[in-house]
């Protein structure tokens, strides 16, 4: 997939405010500071399409980007940021799950995991909940430039093992670095394949009703 055009559309406080879901969509989620916005910038070859910050909690709304005029990419706020108030965390959690469950054009949710750490409870719980709700997701291990390859693959292996305690199958997994531009082509090809296979929800419903 070649990135021909990128356009920031809108930041929405709730799924109800998002652009009409008339195009296929992928979204990026994960703990605060894991590198969601950086990954979007790396993939699109734009320095500042999505706002990046070294302090966690930078992205606070549902941010829609129009890519190649034929699909939406969505930058979401991080979950599990300890430094915001309990009330705000509750609001974000509700907003995120509302978005994930109600957005019918969402083809996959990229869940970003920091490759520097052993499996974190919060990530495992989040992914397991997606599985329970049958929401399609893809894992991206980020910041692979920060540790040795050996450590990264150990952490990825441990994460897989955790998932296999609950699930028979593993999701698609990428290992990436925004700094080294690792896995850029692979992730873009994967997104393009999803987009090309997109069937709008209303057509899917018609088909299954027949
Ligand atoms: P929130 O919006 O706050 O939830 O964060 P985010 O997940 O969007 O993370 P963001 O892209 O803002 O990056 C957070 C910090 O990590 C920034 O200082 C980035 O420069 C850094 N960072 C992101 N990706 C990478 C990476 O692949 N390698 C390295 N070394 N640093 C990265
Ligand atoms: Mg962000």
Residue at token pair 């920031």: 8
Query: In terms of DSSP bridges, do strands 71-75 and 62-67 run parallel, antiparallel, or are they unpaired?
Result: antiparallel
Mean pLDDT in the chain?
A: 92
- From the CA of 130, how far away is ligand 1's center (Å)? 23
Task: Judge whether residue 193 has pLDDT over 80.
Answer: yes
Percent of the chain at pLDDT > 70 equals: 96
Nearest CA owner, ligand 1 atom 15: 54
Helix (H, G, I), strand (E, B) or coil at 143: coil
What does each C-alpha distance from 31 to 36, 146, 152 come to in angstroms? 9, 17, 18
Q: Ligand 2 centre from 133 Cα, in Å?
A: 25
Among 52, 60, 145, name the best residue to mutate to test ligand 1's pocket (greatest count of ligand atoms within 8 A of Cβ).
Answer: 52
Rounded Cα distance between 72 and 68, Å, is 9
Matching residue, tokens 């709730």: 14
Give the count of beta carbons closer than 10 Å to the beta carbon of residue 174: 19
Instruction: Give the rounded distance of the alpha carbon of 24 from its chain centre.
Output: 14
Task: Count CA atoms within 13 Å of residue 92 on its CB side.
Answer: 22
- Whether 127 shows a pLDDT value over 80: the answer reads yes
Decide if pLDDT at 22 tops 80: yes
d(CA 93, CA 79): 7
Q: Which CATH architecture has domain 6-197?
A: 3-Layer(aba) Sandwich (3.40)
Alpha carbon distance 123, 112 (integer Å): 9
33 CA to centre of ligand 2 in angstroms: 7
The 10s digit of each residue's pLDDT in 33-80 is 899 999 999 999 999 898 887 776 666 789 999 999 999 999 998 887
Pairing of strands 106-114, 137-142: parallel
pLDDT tens for each residue of 142-173: 999 999 999 999 999 999 999 999 999 999 99
The C-alpha angle 125, 144, 92, rounded to 5 degrees, equals 35
6 pairs with which residues across the strands?
67
Cα(56)–Cα(35) distance, integer angstroms:
10
């Amino acid at each position: 997939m070649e990135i021909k055009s990128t356009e920031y559309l809108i930041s929405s406080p709730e799924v109800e405010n998002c652009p009409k879901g008339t195009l296929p969509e992928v979204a990026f989620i994960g703990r605060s500071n894991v590198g969601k916005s950086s990954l979007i910038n790396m993939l699109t070859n734009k320095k500042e399409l999505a706002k990046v910050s070294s302090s966690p909690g930078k992205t606070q709304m549902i941010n829609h980007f129009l890519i190649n005029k034929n699909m939406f990419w969505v930058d979401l706020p991080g979950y599990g940021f300890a430094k915001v108030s309990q009330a705000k965390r509750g609001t974000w959690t509700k907003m995120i799950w509302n978005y994930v469950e109600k957005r019918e054009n969402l083809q996959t949710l990229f869940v970003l995991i920091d490759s520097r750490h052993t499996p974190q409870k919060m990530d495992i719980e989040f992914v397991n909940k997606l599985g329970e709700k049958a929401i399609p997701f893809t894992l991206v291990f980020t910041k692979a430039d920060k540790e040795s390859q050996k450590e990264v693959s150990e952490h990825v292996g441990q994460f897989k093992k955790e998932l296999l305690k609950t699930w028979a199958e593993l999701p698609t997994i990428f290992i990436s670095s925004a700094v080294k531009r690792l896995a850029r082509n692979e992730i873009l090809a994967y997104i393009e394949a999803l987009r090309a296979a997109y069937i709008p929800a209303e057509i899917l419903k018609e088909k299954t009703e027949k």
